[in-house]
C-alpha cells in the first residue's frame, strides 16, 4: 500500500479548485487505492477531504510567510501513514496507472530509493471526466499538446518509511527544496530513480504568484532560505544525476547519472555530453551517406 500526501492551495479560486480536484480524483483511482492525506487549513480543504473521504491534518508548522514546512509535513505523514511507502505530490499533478507500475518495479528492486519523474505541462480547463479511457485520452493530449518539464522539475517523490532521518525546515513549493531532496538521496546512498521514460505525470498549468516568479524562482526570501538550509548551491541535483531509470518496465542502472555526483567525474560526465552533441550529427551524416549509396 502507498500513502500519498500533499499541501493543497486554497480551493476558493475556480481554476485552482478544479485542477486540485482533478489531481485528487486521479490519485484515488490508482490501484491498489492509496491512503491520501491532505495537510493545511486552507479554504475548502476540510470540505474536499470530507467529500472524497480522505484524511485531513489542518495543523502544520509554517514559516513567517505562512508556507508549510517540509520537515513537519513529512514527519506527520510518516506517523499517520498505514503504508511502508509514501509519496509527497504537488496538488496539481495527475497520476495514472503507469505510475503504479513504475513504483512496483522500483520497490521490487530497491529497499531505499526516491522515485520521481518529470511531468508534462498541459492546459486542463475545468474538471476532468474520469470515464473509461480517460488515461489514454489524457496521455495522448500530453504527447500531442504538452511540454515535458525540465530536468530540474520534481513534482512527486516516492520513498520508504524512515529513509530521511531529520530533514531541514524547507519551505514547500518554493525553489530548491525538491532539488535538495534529490541531492540528499544520493548523499545517504539511496537509489535515485527517474521514471520519466515510463510515467506520464500531468502538471496542470496555472498561474504563479508574481513574487515567486523570476529567474529560476530564486529572487525571493523563501527560496534563498531553502538554498541556505540545503547547505549552498552545490547541494542541488536534477534528474540528470539519477542513478537508475525505469524504462520498459525495468529498473536500469544509469552510469552517467551515477558519475555526476562525484567531483571530477561530474565534469567528465558533462564533457561526455558535449562530445556526444558534437559527434552525433557527424555520425548521422556519414550514416545517411552510406545508406544513400
Which secondary structure element, helix H or strand E, spans residue 27, and what is its range?
helix 14-28
Instruction: Tell me the mean pLDDT per 10 residues along the chain, length 293.
Output: 96 96 98 97 98 98 96 98 97 98 95 97 96 97 96 95 95 92 96 98 84 55 93 91 95 92 59 61 56 51
Strands 120-122 and 156-160, sheet pairing: unpaired
Distance, in Å, from the CA atom of 263 to the CA atom of 18, rounded to the nearest integer, reads: 45
Identify the pLDDT of residue 234: 87
The torsion angles phi and psi of 171, rounded to 5 degrees, stand at -80, 120
118 contacts: CB under 8 Å, gap ≥ 6: 148, 149, 150, 151, 153, 194, 196, 201, 239
C-alpha distance from residue 201 to each of 1, 22, 86, 292 (Å):
20, 13, 17, 40
With contact defined as beta carbons under 8 Å apart, do 156 and 199 qualify?
no
CB atoms within 10 A of CB 219: 13
Pick the CATH number of 2-257 from 2.40.50, 3.90.550, 1.10.10, 3.30.450: 3.90.550
**Residue that has been written with the C-alpha cell 491534518 in this structure:** 57
Instruction: Copy the grid coordinates of residue 261.
Output: 555526483
- Peptide bond between residue 129 and the one before it cis (omega within 30 degrees of 0): no
Identify the pLDDT of residue 214: 41
Scored b (16 or more CB within 10 A) or e, 171-181 reads: bbbbbbbbbbb
Q: Tell me how many degrees the CA angle 123-126-128 measures, rounded to the nearest 5.
A: 90
With contact defined as beta carbons under 8 Å apart, do 31 and 97 qualify?
yes
Half-sphere exposure of residue 33: CA atoms within 13 angstroms, side-chain side: 7
Of 262, 138, 239, the closest CA to residue 193 belongs to 239
CB atoms within 10 A of CB 161: 14
Half-sphere exposure of residue 147: CA atoms within 13 angstroms, side-chain side: 6
Of 125, 119, 230, the closest CA to residue 183 belongs to 230
The torsion angles phi and psi of 276, rounded to 5 degrees, stand at -60, -40
Distance, in Å, from the CA atom of 193 to the CA atom of 245, rounded to the nearest integer, reads: 5
Torsion of CA 169, 172, 175, 178, to 10 degrees: 80
Identify the pLDDT of residue 86: 98
103 contacts: CB under 8 Å, gap ≥ 6: 2, 85, 115, 158, 195
Identify the pLDDT of residue 213: 42
Amino acid at each position: 500500500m502507498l500513502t500519498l500526501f500533499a499541501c493543497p492551495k486554497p480551493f476558493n479560486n475556480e481554476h485552482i479548485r478544479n485542477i486540485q480536484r482533478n489531481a485528487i480524483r486521479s490519485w484515488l483511482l490508482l490501484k491498489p487505492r492509496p491512503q491520501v492525506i491532505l495537510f493545511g487549513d486552507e479554504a475548502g480543504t476540510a470540505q474536499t477531504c470530507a467529500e472524497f473521504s480522505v484524511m485531513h491534518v489542518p495543523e502544520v508548522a509554517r514559516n513567517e510567510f505562512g508556507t508549510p514546512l517540509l520537515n513537519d509535513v513529512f514527519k506527520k505523514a510518516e506517523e499517520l501513514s498505514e503504508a511502508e511507502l509514501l509519496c509527497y505530490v504537488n496538488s496539481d499533478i495527475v497520476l495514472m496507472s503507469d505510475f503504479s507500475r513504475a513504483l512496483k518495479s522500483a520497490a521490487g528492486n530497491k529497499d531505499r530509493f526516491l522515485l520521481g519523474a518529470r511531468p508534462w505541462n498541459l492546459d486542463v480547463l475545468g474538471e476532468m471526466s474520469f470515464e473509461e479511457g480517460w488515461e489514454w485520452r489524457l496521455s495522448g493530449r500530453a504527447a500531442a499538446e504538452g511540454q515535458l518539464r525540465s530536468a530540474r522539475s520534481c513534482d512527486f517523490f516516492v520513498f520508504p518509511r524512515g529513509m530521511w532521518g531529520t530533514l531541514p525546515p524547507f519551505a514547500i513549493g518554493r525553489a530548491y527544496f525538491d532539488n535538495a531532496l534529490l541531492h540528499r538521496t544520493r548523499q545517504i546512498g539511496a537509489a535515485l530513480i527517474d521514471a520519466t521514460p515510463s510515467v506520464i505525470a500531468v502538471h496542470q498549468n496555472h498561474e504563479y504568484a508574481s513574487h515567486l516568479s523570476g529567474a529560476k524562482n530564486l529572487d525571493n526570501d523563501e527560496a534563498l532560505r531553502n538554498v541556505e538550509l540545503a547547505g549552498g548551491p552545490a547541494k542541488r541535483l536534477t534528474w540528470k544525476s539519477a542513478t537508475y531509470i525505469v524504462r520498459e518496465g525495468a529498473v536500469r542502472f544509469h552510469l552517467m547519472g551515477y558519475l555526476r555526483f562525484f567531483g571530477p567525474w561530474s565534469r567528465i560526465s558533462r564533457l561526455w555530453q558535449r562530445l556526444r552533441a558534437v559527434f552525433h550529427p557527424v555520425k548521422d551524416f556519414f550514416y545517411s551517406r552510406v545508406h544513400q549509396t
